Chains A and B, each alone.
Chain A
């Protein structure tokens, strides 16, 4: 089963603004050189939030399951990781 299909099982309310942000795009280039493809944030994310497109990390924050692993895995501490606001984001039924 594809990740996108798995993510369909989650109740979700989309926040207008992304709760995730890359601080410095140059560091992503450096990271790509050092760690190759896929970079740590891409490979640790269980929800396909991060993709590498045109030498940039693109964030699909609406996929995020709010685990926090990308922030910990980033070797450059380059991910600004916040919680979604106003009760938005995922809402688990089993947990």
Chain B
């Protein structure tokens, strides 16, 4: 049997951060990746904070375009209210190139990465993990990091966590269209191929969060919607994406360009801090802990943050309470724990719908000079807004 100090399951952002950390402190590290290469099974929008990634992995991060403009479109029925702003430090990136690079940085620090290998089972002895069975044999280690993603089969089988419930999981589907660089520049009024946009959409009834990102020579578009809602209403996710593209005019934009890739991913909407983060010498991180920002859908930064902490935890073999405390100390992670409460509030009943309708009616009244309309909206809504705001303020402390 092969023996290591630390075995890490998954060569995504969390696993590679853990591998980088653990091998940098001199440990003998093995990373198991089920895909043919790191990133080949991973799906994101994807937009990342370049300065944050660089602060952990160093210079050289591959990216597609700098996000010069973010547009947020709130749809009430058929007409959107658009808010535009210029962010800093955000870039779009393709996961295959991105994850391969993260993994190569961990390899340069000394980690051994084995692709095409599926981890099947953690073997325990007296409450302590001894080894992992894979489809190519067994590997033993002193401690383990499970960076296995949202479908955290080993964590569930080891009874560290339960599976997600339909109401705590968002189904997303995504399409990538091949579009010439110059065409993207003119479509989005960008000066050159290093500048791009990120568009976000929120629609009600059914509740849909959509996105469009520009890569160098392609456009990525997708939607997410809670699984319970899709199941109850018998809505097929690909149909929801088609309808979304139709409604927003994106289908016209990509007409005549070829579809390059179709993919799907579940986004976790529950997890840390309400679940176990580790058991004995086994540490969870990334999507396995449910660490995706519910407002921005950014799972990459919290994956890197938690992976880094998991790497340290595996090196010094800390107990669950200390690991949880260390995770909570990271602002990337504590932010999500706080936002979850707010999100639960927002998603309960018809609140999301009410607020979006309110905002869009205020803006359209404003545009048409209808001050009475604005006043009426405010008067009709204040009974809801004031208690909500007070509730949010208390929960966010």
Contact between chains at B266 and A95 (CB < 8 Å): no
Alpha-carbon separation in the docked complex, A94 to B218 (Å): 10
Alpha-carbon separation in the docked complex, A40 to B169 (Å): 14
The residues in A between 48 and 95 inclusive whose CB is less than 8 angstroms from any CB of B are 65-69, 71-73, 77, 81-87, 89-95
Contact between chains at A93 and B260 (CB < 8 Å): yes
A47 touches B (CB below 8 Å): yes
A22 touches B (CB below 8 Å): no
B36 touches A (CB below 8 Å): yes
> What does the 1/0 interface line of A23-50 toward B look like (CB < 8 Å)?
0000000000000001010011011000
Q: Within the complex, what minimum Cβ distance (angstroms) separates B246 from chain A? A: 13
Contact between chains at B227 and A44 (CB < 8 Å): yes
- Extra 5 A-B pairs, beta carbons < 8 Å, given A9-B259, A91-B41: A40-B231, A46-B171, A72-B166, A72-B227, A92-B96
Chain A: residues with CB nearer than 8 A to chain B? Answer: 1, 3, 6-7, 9-10, 13, 38, 40, 43-44, 46-47, 65-69, 71-73, 77, 81-87, 89-95
- Partner of B96 from the list A6, A66, A68, A93 (CB cut-off 8 Å) is A93
Chain B: interface size category: 35 or more
Given contacts A43-B231, A95-B95, contact A65 B263 (CB under 8 A): yes
- Partner of A86 from the list B116, B261, B266 (CB cut-off 8 Å) is B116
Q: Within the complex, what minimum Cβ distance (angstroms) separates B241 from chain A? A: 8
- Partner of A94 from the list B35, B220, B234 (CB cut-off 8 Å) is B220
Alpha-carbon separation in the docked complex, A43 to B227 (Å): 10
Contact between chains at A6 and B238 (CB < 8 Å): yes
Contact between chains at B36 and A69 (CB < 8 Å): no
Contacts of B118 in A (CB 8 A): 83-87
Contact between chains at A72 and B42 (CB < 8 Å): no
- Partner of A68 from the list B36, B151, B263 (CB cut-off 8 Å) is B151
Alpha-carbon separation in the docked complex, A71 to B266 (Å): 11
Q: What are 19 A-B pairs at a CB distance below 8 A?
A: A10-B263, A38-B234, A44-B171, A44-B231, A65-B264, A68-B150, A69-B169, A69-B171, A77-B163, A81-B153, A83-B151, A84-B34, A87-B115, A87-B118, A91-B41, A92-B41, A92-B96, A92-B261, A95-B42
Contacts of A66 in B (CB 8 A): 41, 151
Contacts of B191 in A (CB 8 A): none
Contact between chains at A94 and B116 (CB < 8 Å): no
Contact between chains at B169 and A47 (CB < 8 Å): no
Contacts of B43 in A (CB 8 A): 92, 95
Q: Within the complex, what minimum Cβ distance (angstroms) separates A43 from chain B? A: 5
> What are the 4 tightest A-B residue pairs by CB atom distance, in nearest-first order?
A95-B95, A87-B116, A6-B262, A68-B151
Contact between chains at B264 and A69 (CB < 8 Å): yes
The residues in B between 185 and 205 inclusive whose CB is less than 8 angstroms from any CB of A are none
Alpha-carbon separation in the docked complex, A60 to B384 (Å): 48
B236 touches A (CB below 8 Å): yes
- Partner of B259 from the list A6, A43, A65, A67 (CB cut-off 8 Å) is A6
Contact between chains at B135 and A85 (CB < 8 Å): yes
Contacts of A90 in B (CB 8 A): 40-41, 263
Given contacts A6-B238, A93-B96, contact A86 B231 (CB under 8 A): no
